[in-house]
Amino acid sequence: MIDNKKILVVGAGGFIGGHLVKKLIELKNQVVACDIKPKEFWFQDFDNASNHYSTDMRDINNCKKLTQDIDYVFNMACNMGGMGFIENNKAECMQSVLINTNLLIGCKENEVKKYFFSSSACAYNTSLQQKTFIEGLREEDAYPAMPEDGYGWEKLFSERMCRHFFEDFGIEVRIARYHNVYGPYGTYDGGREKAPAALCRKVLNSSMKKLNKIEVWGDGEQTRSFLFIEDCIEGTLRLFNSDYTDPLNIGSDEQVSINQMIDIIQQISGSDKLEKIYQLDKPKGVRGRSSNNELAKKILNWSYQISLKEGLEKTYNWISQEEKSGTNLNRFTKPY
């Protein structure tokens, strides 16, 4: 694994970025942590990071400044959230292309050795995701291009930008296509939360208030695969340390419907079976999505280790503690 390097993590105040910073510090690296959010809204605190910056990396001058004397850059920053946020803030999501482009320019000028870009399964062709349970998406399935509007197009374009900076300027790039990463120390309310955290919160609130019902976006038959954060960080670092420069899936192939996931969380909560109130007018995204991990197994000798049930139990317990303690501060819900 990486050690004794000076590493810039952009998006360090976010969910995946926060867990990555923690791991890089554990590995004895000097980490420069940056996020657009004010420090009080960062998901995790890093007093032992070498520097903290709350700044807008869409500004190229900030990118050029913070990439000076840096060995490696991890770009984990993007303006995004769950399906509700993505579908209603397409222009905001698209502007994240400025972060990636300007960071790459800064890396070129300051001779940064290696660059990581966090892409998404939203980059995949949506025409392949119209059925409920589908075959896992392979890396080549992103083309011909028809990604999710807004956020998906930004990710696919930024992947190409990374590729061309590698081809034209020799910057060593690594690109992960993340598939629905979840776990503790992330958003679970306020509008940006994703399905696992949102449903854990809803089941918890229903149980605490004895409502015995839960609101579900869509008919609950839409499917996804979900990757626990610890597996995500392990896969990310293995990819970064590999020689592979094309986009690579970092995900789970444990595909479930939203209804099935609700039933799992309900069992974890110990509550009675909940009545599902379906909201068919809410954003639903593609009908089905899952990750094909054959290439990751071959290239990285890596696969996810934490089952969905185990990961949801960890996530549910963390959200329960946050709600009961009343200390949840991670509710940065406004667009940048």
pLDDT tens for the 336 residues of the chain, in order: 788 999 999 999 999 999 999 999 999 999 999 999 998 899 998 877 778 899 999 999 999 999 999 999 999 999 888 888 888 899 999 999 999 999 999 999 999 999 999 999 999 999 999 999 999 999 999 999 999 999 999 999 999 999 999 999 999 999 999 999 999 999 999 888 999 999 999 999 998 888 889 999 999 999 999 999 999 999 999 999 999 999 999 999 999 999 999 999 999 999 888 999 999 999 989 999 999 999 999 999 999 999 999 999 999 999 999 998 876 544 444 433
Residues 277 and 310 in one domain: yes
- Within a 10 A sphere around the Cβ of 102, how many other Cβ atoms? 19
Residues 208 and 112 in one domain: no
Residues 128 and 242 in one domain: yes
Judge whether 197 lies within some domain: yes
Q: Residue 327's pLDDT is what?
A: 62
What domain range is 211 assigned to? 182-224+255-290+306-325
Q: What is the CA radius of gyration of the chain?
A: 19
User: CA–CA separation, 303 vs 297, rounded Å?
Assistant: 6
Residues 6+ apart with CB under 8 A from 102: 57, 58, 59, 60, 62, 63, 64
Residue 219 near residue 228, CB atoms below 8 Å: no
In this prediction the pTM is: 0.94
Residues 87 and 233 in one domain: yes
Judge whether 321 lies within some domain: yes
Query: Partners of 115 in the beta sheet?
Result: 73, 173
Residues 311 and 267 in one domain: yes
Nearest to 121 by CA among 300, 314, 299, 285: 285
**Regarding beta strands 247-250 and 172-178, do their DSSP bridges make them parallel or antiparallel, or are they unpaired?**
parallel
Judge whether 102 lies within some domain: yes
User: CA–CA separation, 94 vs 83, rounded Å?
Assistant: 15
Tally the domains of the chain. Answer: 2
Q: Residue 277's pLDDT is what?
A: 97
Residues 54 and 135 in one domain: yes
The label of the residue with tokens 């015995």 reads: 212
Residues 17 and 115 in one domain: yes
Judge whether 300 lies within some domain: no
Nearest to 296 by CA among 214, 185, 176: 176
Which residue numbers are catalytic? 151
Q: Residue 173's pLDDT is what?
A: 98
Q: Residue 190's pLDDT is what?
A: 87
Query: Partners of 95 in the beta sheet?
Result: none
Return left, alpha or beta for 57; rule: phi > 0 is left, psi -120 to 50 is alpha, else beta.
Answer: alpha
CATH number at 212 reads 3.90.25.10
Residues 246 and 103 in one domain: yes
Judge whether 334 lies within some domain: no
Instruction: Spell out the alpha helix ranges (H) of 89-242.
Output: 90-94, 97-110, 151-169, 195-209, 229-241
Residues 272 and 146 in one domain: no
Residues 66 and 132 in one domain: yes
Judge whether 298 lies within some domain: no
Judge whether 113 lies within some domain: yes
- Within a 10 A sphere around the Cβ of 164, how many other Cβ atoms? 13
Residues 110 and 208 in one domain: no
Angle at which helices 97-110 and 151-169 cross, to 10°: 20
CATH number at 157 reads 3.40.50.720
Residues 211 and 274 in one domain: yes
Judge whether 282 lies within some domain: yes
Residue 18 near residue 24, CB atoms below 8 Å: no
Is 269 in a helix, a strand, or coil? helix
Q: Residue 333's pLDDT is what?
A: 41
